[in-house]
Every structure is written in C-alpha cells, then in structure tokens.
Structure 1
Amino acid sequence: MPNPVHMPDTLIDLHADLLRLARRLAQNEAEAHDLTQETLLRLWQRWAALEEIEDLRAYARAALRNLFRASKRRTPMQPETDAPEPCIDPNVFGVIALRELVAAITRLPEDQATLMRLVARGETSPQVLAHAIGCPTGTVMSRLARARAQLRTEMHLDANAPVKSLL
C-alpha cells in the first residue's frame, strides 16, 4: 500500500481502469462517470483503512461493482435522456494534473521555466525560442531537454514518455 502522502497519485492511477469497468456496467456515459467518481470518493474517505489492502486495484473494482449493484436495487432504470449529469466534472483529474505540471514548471531553474512557459503557450520552434530569449539554438535545446527530464521525474512519468505527455 502506498504512503498516504501519495494517495492522490494512487487514486489518479486507478481512475482510467475504474472508468473502463464503469462504462461496461453503466447504461450511459454520465452514469459511468458518476460510478467512477463515487468509488474514488469512497476510497479517499476510507484511505487510512485501506493500508491493509494488498491489491488496491482489485478492491477498487469490487467496490465499484458493489456500488453499481446497490444503485440498481435503489433506483428504477432511467432512459438515457433522463439520466442526470455527473455532479463532478469528468475532466477533474486532467485539471489536477495540469495544476501539478504548472507547479512543477515554477520549481524549475528560471531559464528552463521561461522556455517551458513559451512552449506551453504554443511556441515550439527552437530558432524562435532562441531568438525570444537571446541565446543560441543549441542552448535552447539542452535547456528544454533538462527541463523535460526534470518534469518527467516530478510528474512520475517514465523517462521515455513522449514530450506530449508533458505539454
């Protein structure tokens, strides 16, 4: 079981797997997102009690299935058009990841952070970046490489993860 300090990372890692399962069980996309969010919320609320669980993924999947079954016993089936919208934006984990990336960029050395902010705004040409900050193209390339390596480490991405995983 991971350290409680890493709880959000663990829950984020479970999100995609739980959503796939919820999509197979649910009647529509909104219900799938609701099931996933409710399962993650319940796991988060019981985080301290989960330290004894050896396989959190299996536990989370069983919790989602049980939640689905319980919801079917309580409420009659609704037509897809009458289903309520999810109460939590399904993109919330993407927003959290983006905030973590912005925070990680601010922790970079200033020369690297400046370049990453320019790249985040859409400028990807090394020549244009070099002109913008007033240094050689080779320097821009090495600073970007070091910045991306540091961001991959901070964002818990594989060292070979594609650049588009960052920005």
Structure 2
Amino acid sequence: MPRSAPETAPLTDLMPDLMRVARRLTREADRSQDLCQEVLLKLWVRLDAGAEIDDLRAYAMTALRNQHRQSLRRDQIPPGAPEVVTMSLPDALDACALSEAMRAIRRLPADQERLMRLVAAGETSPADLARLTGLAPGTVMSRLARARARLRDDLGLQKTGR
C-alpha cells in the first residue's frame, strides 16, 4: 500500500515561528515569506521521502538559518564585478512550461509522481532514490523511465538522443 503524503499540520503549526525568525533575519516581508516557503517545501519533501526528524521545530529553525545564509552568499557581488548589474525578469514562457510540467507530474501514478518530485527537488542519484524510497535501484530506474516517457507524451515532447 503506498504511503500517504506527510501530515501538513505540524508544518503549518511552525509557520508563525518561522515567519517571525525569517522577518528578523531578512527585515523584508516578501523575502521572509519566500524564505519560509522554501524551508517548508524542503521539509515537506524530506518528510514525504520518509525522513524521520526528532525535533521538527529545531530542525526547521536550523534549516531556515542555513537557507538564509545560502541566499546571502548567492546575493553577494563578487569582487571586481562591474558597478551596474543587470537583472532579467523570469521568462513568462519558461514559467508557463514549468507550471505545465508540474501539472503533468501530478497526473502521474502515485509511485512515479513521488520519484519525479524527489528528482525535481534535486535528488538525482538512483542509489539515493532507492535508499529514500526503500525500492530496489532497478525498480527506481524503470519507474523513472516510465514516468519520463509518460511526461514526454503528456507534454508533447520528442525523446532526444544522447
């Protein structure tokens, strides 16, 4: 029997505390909300993958601080960079394509959807996926192959050669 998604109540209960700390770290409402959402999504993915976290609140607070530090490092301008940094807005077509792909992933059978969500969250090693899901590596590989084929069909994409 497939395992159900993690219960969201414990994560929802953490939101006020996470928002308060994020607001103190970022000093901006929008950035604090983004930071909290990133952390909650990562926690949800870990819990969905079967991770056992003894103290969810402490783990979430540490993850929040680490995520904030990572964002600060990403935002730093390297020495010798030009004075003017150009920014580009996300391409609307890319955003639509991503949204369409995520809807297609949600339409997959539950076992394939779970694997594709782990891949989307950055877990790409079949051995790690097998360890996280408790499946045999061969089973992971075949389910991913079926999921990718179904996504290509669903999205009207052609298989590309290596």
TM above 0.5 = no
Larger Rg: 1
TM-score normalised over the length of structure 1: 0.42
TM-score by length of 2: 0.44
**Structure number having the greater helix percentage:** 1
